[in-house]
Amino acid sequence: MFTEAEEGQRVCQVAQGDRKAFAELAAYYLPKLEQYGTRLSGRSVQGEDLAQETLLQLWLEAGRFDPSRGRLSTWLYRIARNRFLDQQRQGWRWLGLESLEGRGGIPDPELEQLSDAREVQQALQRLPERQRSALLLSYYEGLSQKEVAEVLGLGLRAVESLIVRARRALGKTLEEEHARTP
């Protein structure tokens, strides 16, 4: 975890072609961006691609980062989300959700967790993209509502409302799912 000043310093170094500074930022942000991308798209391949592409953009366009307009994390999540929306327009959506049970020989408790994970994955994908992003960024990525608002380009009130609606819809879907399959 970097302080704002450390982040800003490293971004300046990256803009001047410093690979070591880039490696430090990438080591921290690559897994976070991949997790966000995977949950956002429902596919680990796409999540991996989004994370790599986002960091590549950091490498190439670090000079465009303006620390007065927000933290590096919000800038990177915004790039990742925009790339995801571009990919959706280009047809990635037709690939469908990824099966989480791709591994063989899974022990029973883990299988149960996988089943729950699959339900959450499917329920998340049924949410409108903005609700999904707002929930993922606040719950899994630990962003404040102000930071989520910066990523999504919305007001604070709108983000609050998106998160409330997302949680309500998700809770309802999962309750119904569990009621059907005891």
Residues that bind another protein (CB under 8 A): 17, 19, 22-23, 26-27, 30-31, 34-35, 38-39, 44, 47-48, 51-52, 55-56, 59-61, 113, 116-117, 119-121, 124, 138-140, 145, 163-164, 167-168, 170-171, 174
Nearer to another protein, 4 or 64 (CB): 64
Q: Own/partner pairs for 127-133, CB < 8 Å, 24+ apart?
A: 127/166, 127/169, 127/170, 129/40, 129/85, 129/88, 130/154, 130/162, 131/162, 131/163, 131/165, 131/166, 131/169, 132/40, 132/166, 133/40, 133/81
Cα distances from 65 to residues 34, 75, 151, in angstroms, run 21, 8, 14
How far apart are CB 159 and another protein at their closest, in Å? Answer: 11
How far apart are CB 69 and another protein at their closest, in Å? Answer: 20
Nearer to another protein, 85 or 164 (CB): 164
How far apart are CB 108 and another protein at their closest, in Å? Answer: 15
Residue 102 and residue 116 in contact, taking contact as beta carbons nearer than 8 Å = no
Nearer to another protein, 4 or 144 (CB): 144
Give me the sign of the Cα torsion angle 121, 124, 129, 134. negative
The residue among 162, 1, 163 whose CA lies nearest residue 73 is 1
How far apart are CB 78 and another protein at their closest, in Å? Answer: 18
Nearer to another protein, 5 or 179 (CB): 179
Nearer to another protein, 31 or 155 (CB): 31
How far apart are CB 139 and another protein at their closest, in Å? Answer: 6
